Amino acid sequence: MTHLLTAQDMREIERSAMEDGIATGAELMERAGRRVVEALQAEWPDGGRTARRAIVLCGPGNNGGDGYVVARLLHGLGWSVSVHGMGATEELPPDARANRQAWEGIGSVVPLSGDLRIGQDRPDLVVDALFGTGLTRPVDGLGGLFRDIAECRALGCPRVVAVDLPSGLCSDSGRVIRAEGTEPAEAAIAADLTVTFHRPKLGHYLSEGPSFCSRLVAADIGLRPEATAGKGVPLAAARAAALAKNNASHKYDNGHALVLTGGSGRTGAARLAARGALRAGAGLVTVGVPASAQLEVAAQLTAIMLTRVDDGEELASVLEDTRLNALCLGPGLGRDRVRALVPVAVKAGRGTVLDADALTAFEDDPAALFADLHEGCILTPHMGEFSKLFPDLAAPLKAAPESGPATSRLDAARAAAARSGATVLLKGPDTVIASPGGAATIAASVYERAAPWLATAGTGDVLAGIITGLLARGFATLDAAASGAFLHAEAARGFGPGLVAEDLPEELPRVFRALGV
Ligand SMILES: NC(=O)C1=CN([C@@H]2O[C@H](COP(=O)(O)OP(=O)(O)OC[C@H]3O[C@@H](n4cnc5c(N)ncnc54)[C@H](OP(=O)(O)O)[C@@H]3O)[C@@H](O)[C@H]2O)[C@@H](O)CC1
Ligand SMILES: [K+]
């Protein structure tokens, strides 16, 4: 399982490797530079055939040090290399200084200026080694250069490779560190290929990270896997054994999910959720309908059962059946039914997914919702819903981050989970899931797992249903949310272009087969 690290994690891993004699800083820097060159040769094999031209941009820290290694190695491969550097040689940290001096034995270092125009020089490659994990404040005075690189890159030349991280990006949050009023494109350099070291960082997966990195390679620089133990946040992944069913199991062994619908004309969202719960493997799924929608829903369901739930009292009596072990409230539920049903549902102490209306109906008084939540509850907001329940936690995500490490979507979800007492799944291409105790997972559909067709009406309802189905099957809360988000994205990827929400549950059988369930 891949774990995403913070800059601090990475510094600790590097320090312990040096203290334990695993490698010196100079060795790590040499390997880092070498891995970048290997990765760009693998990505663009044509680059090695004839002499090519590269501009290497080197910053004042160790990221710049890696850049001087790359410059030397490219030169050795016959490339024509120009180096533009920040800072004076004697002010660089020791390993970076040694590599700059080694380069100075080969060629010159032109002081980096914001007036540098890449377009005039027409290189084949720009190596961005300005800033990596040490960026703490907006890059000053280079906006013109960054814009110029973006314009040239949009025309297909040069290719841009980022060393460790696109400069300007915060490695913990994936957000562009920038002054208010500045556009991300003038505060960071978008790359075609990003080569990071040892393990990916959170910023490669969160927020703007994937769009600035484009393609990500995590290269081995000889740090021990054990050094990473206990560090980082896992990426959600397939768990075929947990998803498999026992051959001897009875339908009641796989739980019974109850999905509450809204009134007549508003039942589609809950039906989508119910279908998701059934396909995720819940033994039984029942839809709880008000009288007004009974016929409408009955006409649309076959394997899913139906029960009448008009108000909180009726819900309480339905829940006397303790075999109903997972509940889903929110999709299409309507404000009045939310107010009547949600308090009864959460007090019943079952695994409970609250989505859509079940979140926004508490906009005026989120504390009233949080008062009854328990560790079996999962809130599944998208950013708009999150902002209504947690406006103060959403605010820093909307403002330009002027210093690093910047507040991340993961920080916000963790704070929301701690405040609400429920697991919070904040939806997006970088879905983050945090439980009240601080445990977290990221279910990212980015890079080779991108699922752009997921951004369509009703897909969130299916996600709520899939998670409810997994809760019914007995999955622990965080695991149900993480596995549900993973399966949901896999279903979207499997179906591909043209996907609509109804397709997602029907794609799950193929996803299970592909995972070896
Ligand atoms: N960890 C590892 O295992 C390995 C790490 N390696 C590499 O080291 C990189 C981390 O190096 P790093 O810590 O020196 O940080 P880096 O990103 O070069 O920047 C720091 C410098 O920039 C400065 N500075 C900051 N913001 C600024 C701004 N806006 N505008 C101007 N200046 C600014 C800051 O100055 P200060 O804040 O101190 O004033 C400092 O001088 C990492 O990304 C990877 O590439 C590899 O060699 C292999 C193993
Ligand atoms: K960089």
pLDDT along the chain (517 residues), means of 10: 96 95 97 98 77 93 98 96 97 98 98 91 94 96 95 89 98 97 94 98 98 98 90 93 87 92 96 98 98 95 95 98 97 96 98 98 97 97 98 97 97 98 98 97 97 96 98 97 98 98 98 96
Range of the domain at 436: 240-515
CATH number at residue 171: 3.40.50.10260
Give the pLDDT of residue 156.
83
Neighbours of ion ligand 2 (CB under 5 A): 128, 162-163, 167
- The answer on 230 and 286 residing in a single domain is no
Q: Is 374 annotated as a binding residue?
A: no
Ligand nearest to the backbone CA of 8: 1
pTM to 2 decimals?
A: 0.97
Residue 161 Cα to ligand 2 middle (Å): 8
Residue 32 Cα to ligand 1 middle (Å): 14
Give the pLDDT of residue 255.
97
Ligand 1 pocket check for 30: Cβ under 6 Å: no
Ligand 1 pocket check for 28: Cβ under 6 Å: yes
- The answer on 462 and 321 residing in a single domain is yes
Whether the Cβ atoms of residue 442 and residue 432 lie closer than 8 Å to each other: yes
**260: β partners:** 288
Ligand 1 pocket check for 95: Cβ under 6 Å: no
Whether the Cβ atoms of residue 166 and residue 194 lie closer than 8 Å to each other: yes
Give the pLDDT of residue 248.
82
Q: Which of 200, 234, 268 is the last residue of a domain?
A: 234
Q: Which atom of ligand 1 lies closest to the CA of 31? A: 48
- The answer on 376 and 244 residing in a single domain is yes
Residues sharing a CB contact under 8 Å with residue 302, sequence separation 6 or more, in sequence order: none
Q: Is 64 annotated as a binding residue?
A: yes
- The answer on 247 and 173 residing in a single domain is no
Assign 431 to helix, strand or coil.
Answer: strand
CATH number at residue 399: 3.40.1190.20
Give the pLDDT of residue 121.
80
Q: Is 484 annotated as a binding residue?
A: no
**311: β partners:** none
Nearest CA to ligand 1 atom 37: 136
Specify the number of domains making up the chain: 2
ipTM score assigned to the predicted complex:
0.98
Give CA separation, 394 vs 101, 156, 416, 419, 431, in Å: 46, 36, 10, 13, 15
Ligand nearest to the backbone CA of 404: 1
Q: Which of 181, 216, 234 is the last residue of a domain?
A: 234
d(C-alpha 139, C-alpha 189), whole Å: 11
Ligand nearest to the backbone CA of 32: 1
- The answer on 486 and 399 residing in a single domain is yes
Nearest CA to ligand 1 atom 2: 14
- The answer on 71 and 196 residing in a single domain is yes
d(C-alpha 186, C-alpha 143), whole Å: 5
Give the pLDDT of residue 47.
58
Ligand 1 pocket check for 403: Cβ under 6 Å: no
Q: Which of 184, 201, 234 is the last residue of a domain?
A: 234
- The answer on 286 and 201 residing in a single domain is no
d(C-alpha 306, C-alpha 287), whole Å: 5
Nearest CA to ligand 1 atom 16: 134
Assign 209 to helix, strand or coil.
Answer: helix
How many residues are there in the chain?
A: 517
State the distance between the two ends of the chain, measured CA to CA, in whole angstroms. 18
Q: Is 503 annotated as a binding residue?
A: no
The tokens describing 31, both together, are 């390997």
Assign 35 to helix, strand or coil.
Answer: helix
Residues sharing a CB contact under 8 Å with residue 412, sequence separation 6 or more, in sequence order: 386, 390, 393, 394, 396, 397, 426
- By DSSP bridging, strand 423-426 and strand 430-434 are antiparallel
